[in-house]
Amino acid sequence: MTVAVPSALLADLLSAPRPAEWEALRLAAEARLAGRELPTPRDKGWQFTDLAPLSHTSFAPAPEATADISADLLPEMVGTRQVFVNGRYAPHASCVSALPPGLRFLPLTLASEACHCLGTLAPETARSPFEDLNTARFEDGALILVPKNLRATLPLHLLFVTRAEHPCAVFPRVLIRLEAGAELSLVEEHMGHGPYLTCPVVEIQVGEGAILRHERVQRDHATAIHLATLRATVAQGGQYHSRTLTFGARLSRQEPSVRLAEGAEATLDGLALLGDGQLADTHSFLHHAAPHGTSHQLHTCVVDGQARAVFNGQIRVAPGAQGTDAQQKSRNLLLSGTARVDTEPQLEIYADDVKCTHGAAVGQLDPDEIFYLQSRGLDLEAARNLLTYGFAADLLERIPVASLRRALRRLVLARTHASALGDLA
Amino acid sequence: MNSTFQGVTSQEYKYGFVTDIEADSVAPGLNEEVIRFISAKKGEPDWLLDFRLKAYRHWLTLAEPGWAKVQYPTPDFQKIVYYSAPRPKKAQFASMDEVDPELKRTFEKLGVPIHEQEALAGVAVDVVFDSVSVTTTYKEKLAAVGIIFCSFSEAVKTHPDLVKRYLGSVVPAADNFYAALNSAVFTDGSFVFIPKGVACPMDLSTYFRINNQESGQFERTLIVAEEGASVSYLEGCTAPRFDTNQLHAAVVELVALDHASIKYSTVQNWYAGDKDGKGGIFNFVTKRGLCKGRGSHISWTQVETGSAITWKYPSCVLLGDDSIGEFYSVALTNHKQQADTGTKMIHIGRNTKSTIISKGISAGDSSNSYRGLVKVQPKAEGARNFSQCDSMLIGHTCSANTFPTLDVQNRSARVEHEATTSKIGEEQLFYFQQRGIPAEEAISMIINGFCKDVFRELPMEFAVEATKLLSLKLEGSVG
């Protein structure tokens, strides 16, 4: 079957051979891509994020590669980690010796359950072309299945490393299903080296009363492009708590969408620490589909240099979703004269007995706070750096994995030039 | 849902009657000939005809905007009558006695005491009746201090230089679909010019009224306040009820020079359609103020209760250093009404400040959206914005939405936005009732309390009218 040419870039990416498995799904995705163009700033949802850099580069399929990840291991998760290098499973870097019995954490290509789960865990909302691209071309990814009432004590570590000499593309795929009453903490990390494009897709199903804590760390290379999609459904009384921490990539976009059933709870926090010419975009969608759901969203951006942060947070309270409690806050700190923030909170409410608030603030450091620190003997620069660190690090405090929390604090300290103040981590 | 809320629906439209005046109309449809006809009919200079034709040619290249959260059948622009004027009995009326008695009765029903302006507590009324100004009052008093307050067509004849200098300087002819349409076919409107250093001695006011069933009304308002001048302008609207949707695409331009101040207040109560959403006005309005000078100040206050569809974003372009923009809005929707309204604050100058207070109330099956933009351009050092958008829902079949956009490109700027959504609490109601206040009155009081921050920005007589209007609009939807 020949595929109609969508756009030069999409055609480029689709020119790679189609992997053998899941052919029907891949063909369907290709069919949807046929004739599609890359979104441009004229398209709804893309007016602040220009994908032009993509169309100037030709991305080849990622070659096989190896990576040394010894410096990136976290002690709590040495025996519960799966590593993927350039989109392929890396058995020598992975280790799952400490997995509790019954918990399945393995590459998709080795998981017989995968075919039942792919594309079925969370119903689709509007699909971005990058999700279809992922479906059409992903090589491998991870499957996580937590059986009923299993409460995993150790967190899982999922590491995607990309090493690119020349521009290349990878499509990580993650499927997560928690059965009723299960509980899990997961750390998903993206890192690498070189001018690559990564389009991860994560599908999540949280069962009745189950709890998933999901830390997502994006520290891709400074020349990389990261375009991620996440879809989650949370069943009655379930909880999904996620924190997306954006440090890397010159251009990145997160598109999480979460659908809440009755009495379900979600946290969708985000931190973007940006400098130089970075652009980080978050377009989130929280759907309160049934009564008595609760959601919290705190999105924090610290923007320096010529960087730019974009936030569009949509919350929809469906007809009949009475008793919904939705809170959203977008906080933004501009550190340079050339930094830019565009924030668009969106509330759509179709039920009357609800508590919904949103707030957005863009500004610089409070002169009173700086003065206070100066009066305590800190010089101006130190005072500024400490406050900047505090603004950003606020979100890190709730990370449940101690070693990750410390590592990220150090990263934020370094990025906010606050390291000189001593090891606050 | 509490039974108190059931059945609160607005009472029938009080101002729904039709005045039968033979109109001097052009056949429905739009082409360059119609535009030339309008221009010739009004005896316009060539530059204005050029302005219209350029706008029309640009309009042909534009598509109707689809981003607003409103749904309606696309108006057939070839079925609209673009010009109709009440047939003049004489060139000019010398006194009220000469005005068409039918017209006078209309105003009596509306409660506009046109022949008793003294009773209007010093409000001069420039009445626009189906596109042509019939009478203007208080002109002499205003002229004594150098203020020009007249119909737009008159201004084109008597002060062409002023009109030419400012027309389209805030809302360019090519600004958007409806502004371009208005620029091509506008028939009349109001013109206000406050010269240097003059504080307008009274509130200026215009009543708009749509009368001919097939005639969309394309008003054009231009207000210019020179250095140090100040003016408060009131616009109030009612319209007779019709089953065919009527298109209203007005353009309002305000220009404030150094240290000038313009306060523009609107109470909008056009026919909103019946309970099933049949009929009602389509209100697609472009309103924009330019704070051109240092320390200039433009303030928009609106109480939007009518129209089937509202698409309206009174905006401020804060160009002058230290200029101030304000937007205070109450938007109430009931039955099948849809409102997508808000504001744009564009900070360009240094130390510019803006305040946005928006209160949305939705009842019935209506949809009420706030859409706003706060943009701080790179050179707007020290810009400051505060926005607050509160929504209140009455009943479970309506919706309230907020779509603010904050676009900040200067680090010294401080921009804050807050939004809340709530309903009238059972406990609040219980408290009132327990004190002997009936539910309906209690709800009216709660809603007026909710809107207090906006009402206190209104001129006195408008504040009274607005308070009454809200209670009237919600009558029967609660209680």
Q: Please list the residues that pair with A54 across neighbouring strands.
A: none
Whole-number Cα distances in Å, B202 to A224, B137, B209, B421? 63, 12, 22, 38
CA distance, residue A189 to nearest chain B CA (Å): 30
Tell me whether residue A417 is in a domain. Answer: yes
Whether the per-residue pLDDT at B478 is higher than 80: the answer is no
> What's the start-to-end Cα distance of chain A, in Å?
56
pLDDT 10s digits, A225-249: 999 999 999 999 999 999 999 999 9
pLDDT for the residue B115: 41
Number of domains in chain A: 2
Whether the per-residue pLDDT at B67 is higher than 70: the answer is yes
Each of the 425 residues of chain A gets a pLDDT tens digit; together they read 333 334 566 667 777 777 777 888 888 888 888 878 888 888 888 988 888 878 778 888 888 888 888 888 888 898 999 999 999 999 999 999 999 999 999 999 888 777 777 877 877 766 788 999 999 989 899 999 999 999 999 999 999 999 999 999 999 999 999 999 999 999 999 999 999 999 999 999 999 999 999 999 999 999 999 999 999 999 999 999 999 999 999 999 999 999 999 999 999 999 999 998 999 999 999 999 999 999 999 999 999 999 999 999 999 999 999 999 999 999 999 998 889 999 998 889 998 888 888 889 998 888 999 999 999 999 998 999 999 999 988 888 888 899 999 999 888 888 887 776 666 65
Dist. CA B157–CA B45, nearest whole Å: 8
> What's the start-to-end Cα distance of chain B, in Å?
12
Mean of per-residue pLDDT scores for chain B? 81
- Whether A320 sits inside 8 A of B412 (CB atoms) is no
pLDDT for the residue B133: 46
Same domain, residue pair A248 and A380: no
pLDDT for the residue B211: 43
Same domain, residue pair A253 and A372: no
- Whether B67 sits inside 8 A of A44 (CB atoms) is yes
Tell me whether residue A120 is in a domain. Answer: yes
Same domain, residue pair A256 and A371: no
Which residues from chain B sit within 8 angstroms of residue A354, using beta carbons? 393, 421, 423
Q: Which residue, B184, B152, B180, is CA-closest to B29? A: B184
- Whether A349 sits inside 8 A of B407 (CB atoms) is no
Same domain, residue pair A249 and A376: no
Nearest neighbour of B401 by CB, restricted to A338, A349, A364: A349
Tell me whether residue A79 is in a domain. Answer: yes
- Whether B416 sits inside 8 A of A361 (CB atoms) is yes
Q: Which two three-digit tokens encode residue B184?
A: 């091509």
pLDDT 10s digits, A80-108: 999 999 999 999 999 999 999 999 999 99
Tell me whether residue A398 is in a domain. Answer: yes
- Whether B396 sits inside 8 A of A359 (CB atoms) is no
Domain that holds residue A371: 367-425
Whether the per-residue pLDDT at B86 is higher than 90: the answer is no
Which residues from chain B sit within 8 angstroms of residue A314, using beta carbons? none
What is the DSSP annotation of B54-89? Answer: HHHHHHHH------SS---PPP-TTSSB--EEEPPS
Q: Please list the residues that pair with B372 across neighbouring strands.
A: B343, B404
What is the arithmetic mean of pLDDT over B331-356?
A: 94
In terms of CA atoms, which chain B residue is nearest residue A366? B414
Tell me whether residue A207 is in a domain. Answer: yes
Model ipTM value: 0.72
Boundary-marking domain end, from A261, A290, A309 = A261
Same domain, residue pair A247 and A372: no
Boundary-marking domain end, from A261, A289, A315 = A261
Q: What global pTM score does this model have?
A: 0.79
Same domain, residue pair A388 and A244: no
pLDDT for the residue B88: 45
pLDDT for the residue B272: 81
Same domain, residue pair A70 and A216: yes
Tell me whether residue A381 is in a domain. Answer: yes
Residue B240 binned pLDDT confidence (cut-offs 50, 70, 90): very low
Interface test with A, best of B387, B399, B478 (most A CBs within 10 A): B399
A185, burial (CB in 10 Å: exposed 0-12, middle 13-18, buried 19+):
buried
Tell me whether residue A301 is in a domain. Answer: no
Do residues B309 and B70 lie in contact, with contact meaning Cβ atoms separated by under 8 Å? yes
Q: Which two three-digit tokens encode residue A384?
A: 């500024």
- Whether A360 sits inside 8 A of B406 (CB atoms) is yes
Interface test with B, best of A362, A364, A365 (most B CBs within 10 A): A362
Dist. CA A260–CA A262, nearest whole Å: 7
CB of B405 within 8 Å of a chain A CB? The answer is: yes
Tell me whether residue A10 is in a domain. Answer: yes
For chains A and B, CB pairs below 8 A equal: 111
Same domain, residue pair A249 and A371: no
Q: Please list the residues that pair with B127 across neighbouring strands.
A: B135
Boundary-marking domain end, from A195, A228, A261 = A261
Q: Which two three-digit tokens encode residue B92?
A: 């000019």
CA distance, residue A58 to nearest chain B CA (Å): 32
Dist. CA A392–CA A382, nearest whole Å: 15
Dist. CA A198–CA A62, nearest whole Å: 10
